[in-house]
Structure 1
């Protein structure tokens, strides 16, 4: 007999991000296993309060949209109370809270505690959130400690999406119960790859022998977007036959547009299908973050046969245990990133070998079948 799951995720589709896709893919796989899943999220984009998406029941709570959607804050108004009453009358067997530092997360933890339902919290971070301002970052760090302490009043069991997340939980004096890896829908991506209806190289006049580098995700300071742009512009002075695509939106979208050229191409926000098709034509995927849990974008790039250059954050060392699998650099300083990308550009044979090894490792460790089975066993 299937179980009834409720997942509290402050952000969810169609808002794009790693946590959103984690919630969606886990929910979809749990349903395939015969369970029912309800997702409770924030109404960031002024959508319907209730809908059914791919078999997933979705409730959207009213919220204030802070930091360009990065930090939704619940509004405890009549709409909130109406949805709360609906949820209270449902009989959930298990509650999952996705991420730790939202008011929404506290509500999910409290809801489970109040209704005597088993609850776990899955953490996606490996450092404090940064907005690029030292004063605000300091205040944010204090706030994160406070909200985590409140959450622990209602939830005892914390998991991480990587071993780096488990280590980061110790910063808050939390002993993680285990790892529920961020994963990827290999079959879903491969089905998109089989439909060849978009050619970015042809669209932008890029030669077939050119090296294409891509970044996909939110254009945020902590993702290392300025460093990547700076490194690329330096390398391009020596290597004329290289191109950089930036696919995503965020607070650095205007910054990226200001550096647009024939070789540096900001694409803005793209659908998941478009991102996959871009990655299919990409040689090197670069994610130079200084804050990461376990990147969904990296996993998608591996399935699309991209060589990966990334920083030693989140689950990078778990995905790429040695340089034979991909390139992991200590930080995203421009000089270090420039050297790493140059090496990758100049060594196509090493890239090809790494792509094969990384894909085999992914299939053995980072699929939603494995994660959903582990969740179901809890």
Structure 2
């Protein structure tokens, strides 16, 4: 999957429609930001149309990315923004109409924002693709609302397909999920990481030491989780599995540190003890410092496109336990790379932790994962994929 480095040719003007963007944090936001940076480094220009979910400025030049934020209604605690058709909206569209764009990229499939992007490209006859980042329906953990939400998502997708016919998955699992909507994926545009940035951070020697700060012995096994604190991430099962392990192995306890923010913050605070630590929201640099100190990264998620956290943990030489969701088999093709479990019930998570702790080849596995990420899952590789797609559509 390794590609040769892109040669700089004609300058292209990319237009991204991403319902959420920085400073709002999340996987799709990071995807848009990082791919934009690489495209700009290669001489292209990038504009991002997003939702103002964070009361930020309506327009800014963010590291040479032109960012327009539309006023919006923040439904589902900001997880589902819906833009307002107000004066700012009209002014933004007018500014877009005064520019010439070569390629429109719609990130995610189930927002009104996505339809806005696809419809804009269709109206102006601009090549357009939609990148899907999911592997299941959006959930709010309410059976009735989830049921209605599923029908709603099918309706949104039906409308989106009228304006965009080229869909890609952020992993093979995402591409497979598109079949649920009678969409045949054109391929994968993989999530990735900024390898050079992470290695530069890792080479530094910060005064911050998480083991010292949290009173975790150097010779102990430290499990890590980073990301949004949502039920679908399997956090409850992970905490329960560690508690159960320590109850059964009082002479050889393991430690678990979790970093991030979200609805389960209060749950983690309630379960915090000598062996389970909630670190709160960390900066990107702090996440890398933390992962540099941990041994095993656990992401027992119900739904993933292709987790950035997995890639970051792999580059930081963590042994990985995850579920058979987006990107898992691309990153861990067999059990010599790590552990992929079928589901995230408590027994499965517990048994996976037990297997990892007794694995004699953890060092070999982390080195294989690092090499695989370096060759396949960097933003340079992903940007070249996007350029290849554009050239094929031209």
TM range (shorter): over 0.9
1:120 maps to which of 114, 129, 149: 129
Q: Is the contact made by 1:309 and 1:340 (CA closer than 8 Å) also made in structure 2? A: yes
Query: Is 1:66 matched with 2:75?
Result: yes
Match of 2:117 in 1: 108
Match of 1:233 in 2: 243
Cα deviation code 1:288-346 (max 9, x no counterpart): 00111111110010011101000001110111010100100000000110111122123
| Residue pairs, 1:212-361, within 5 angstroms | 212-239=222-249, 240-347=252-359, 349-361=360-372
2:158 maps to which of 146, 149, 162: 149
Counterpart CA distance in 2 for 1:256 and 1:283 is 20
Q: Is the contact made by 2:73 and 2:84 (CA closer than 8 Å) also made in structure 1? A: yes
1:13 maps to which of 17, 22, 27: 22
Q: Which runs of 5+ in 1 are unaligned?
A: none
Match of 2:50 in 1: 41
1:98 maps to which of 80, 90, 107: 107
Query: Is 1:363 matched with 2:339?
Result: no
- Secondary structure of the residue aligned to 1:291 is coil
Q: 1:69: how far off?
A: 1.8
Cα deviation code 1:164-190 (max 9, x no counterpart): 111111111111111111111111111
Query: Stretches of 4+ moved more than 4 A in 1?
Result: none
Aligned residues between the structures: 377
Counterpart CA distance in 1 for 2:188 and 2:164 is 17
Q: 1:238: how far off?
A: 3.0
- Secondary structure of the residue aligned to 2:67 is strand
2:199 maps to which of 190, 200, 209: 190
Counterpart CA distance in 1 for 2:352 and 2:361 is 13
Instruction: Give the structure-1-normalised TM-score.
Output: 0.98
Counterpart CA distance in 2 for 1:34 and 1:159 is 24
Q: Is the contact made by 1:215 and 1:285 (CA closer than 8 Å) also made in structure 2? A: yes
Q: Which runs of 5+ in 2 are unaligned?
A: 1-9
Counterpart CA distance in 2 for 1:136 and 1:251 is 18
Q: Could you say what the CA RMSD is over the residues aligned between the two structures, in angstroms? A: 1.1
Instruction: Give the structure-2-normalised TM-score.
Output: 0.94
Counterpart CA distance in 1 for 2:209 and 2:366 is 21
- Structure 1 window deviating more from structure 2 (304-313 vs 363-372): it is 363-372
Counterpart CA distance in 2 for 1:285 and 1:22 is 21
Q: Is the contact made by 2:245 and 2:253 (CA closer than 8 Å) also made in structure 1? A: no
